Amino acid sequence: MSDKIQFEELKETISKTKEKFDNYITLEKKQLEKLQNQTQEIPKTLQKKEEEITQQQNEIKEIQNQYLLKQKQMENETNRIEQKIKELEQKNQKKQDKFIQINQEIEQFQQQIDNQKKIIEQKKQNLDHFISKMNKEIELYTNYLGLEFERVQNDRLRFIFRKIDPKDHNKTFSFTVYIDQYSQYKVEECTPLVDNLKPLISNLNKTNDLSKFTKEIRKKFRILVSDF
């Protein structure tokens, strides 16, 4: 009887132990299945994460490209503006240099004009002095040398000679002199034309001696008459 009771107790104990073991195995299976499911989800999750990371990388790369492009555009624009500023500075410097040059040329030209005016004024004074001197002796020149003076167009003086041709004392010989814009004596007309007139005019401009020039021309006229 006692053995039977012990057997039943053992059997019950084994049954309980088996139930616990089965419960444990069932729980472990469930956990294993859950772990397996989670493990299966990992590649998908990883792939999704990789896709997200790739997308983020692409976005970052696009932002970087846009930044680089913008930076390049800004550099180009900065270079263009700097070049434009440089060109404007060069143009402005050229204008300043040209302005200085023009002012210097104006000053030089004005100085030349002033000098020419002084020379012309001096020569006019010499001419007026010569006329004044000739006027004092005009009676002598008219009566004995047959020389007269005539103003032509206000700025020219005509020298008229008579009593040169012994055959005709009233025959006239003349030349007209004036001062040009370069303060040089010029002979506008000489009637009749004498030889070597240009050297005489050149010497007149060197010596400024109009009286001597007049005498030389008169000698030339007398030579012309003596040649006939």
Question: CA neighbours within 13 Å on the CB side: how many for 190?
Answer: 19
The answer to whether residue 136 sits within a structural domain is yes
What is Dmax (Cα atoms) for the chain?
207
Cα–Cα nearest to 190, from 206, 163, 213, 165: 213
**Whole-number pLDDT of residue 85:** 80
Per-residue pLDDT of the chain (228 residues; tens, 9 = 90+): 567 777 787 878 888 888 888 888 888 888 888 887 777 776 777 777 778 878 888 887 887 788 778 788 878 887 888 888 888 888 888 888 887 888 888 788 788 877 777 766 776 676 677 667 666 655 666 666 788 989 988 789 999 999 999 899 899 999 999 999 899 999 999 999 999 999 999 999 999 999 899 999 999 999 999 866
189, containing H or E segment: strand 185-191
Q: Provide the residue range defining the domain that includes 184.
A: 120-227
The answer to whether residue 223 sits within a structural domain is yes
The pTM of the full predicted model, rounded to 2 decimals, is: 0.43
97, containing H or E segment: helix 2-136
**Whole-number pLDDT of residue 140:** 65
Task: Tell me the DSSP string of 153-188.
Answer: TTTEEEEEE-S-BTTBTT--EEEEEEE-TTS-EEEE
The answer to whether residue 158 sits within a structural domain is yes
Strand partners, 135: none
**Whole-number pLDDT of residue 206:** 95
Query: For residue 195, what is the domain's CATH number?
Result: 3.30.457.50
Neighbours of 31 (CB within 10 A): 10
- Strand locations in 10-166 (E): 147-152, 156-161
Q: Which residues of 116-151 are buried (b: 16+ CB within 10 A; e: fewer)?
A: eeeebeebeebbeebeeebeeeeeebeeebbbbeee
* Separation of alpha carbons 42 and 165, rounded Å: 142
The answer to whether residue 56 sits within a structural domain is no
Decide if 187 contacts 176 (C-beta within 8 A).
yes
Count of domains forming the chain: 1
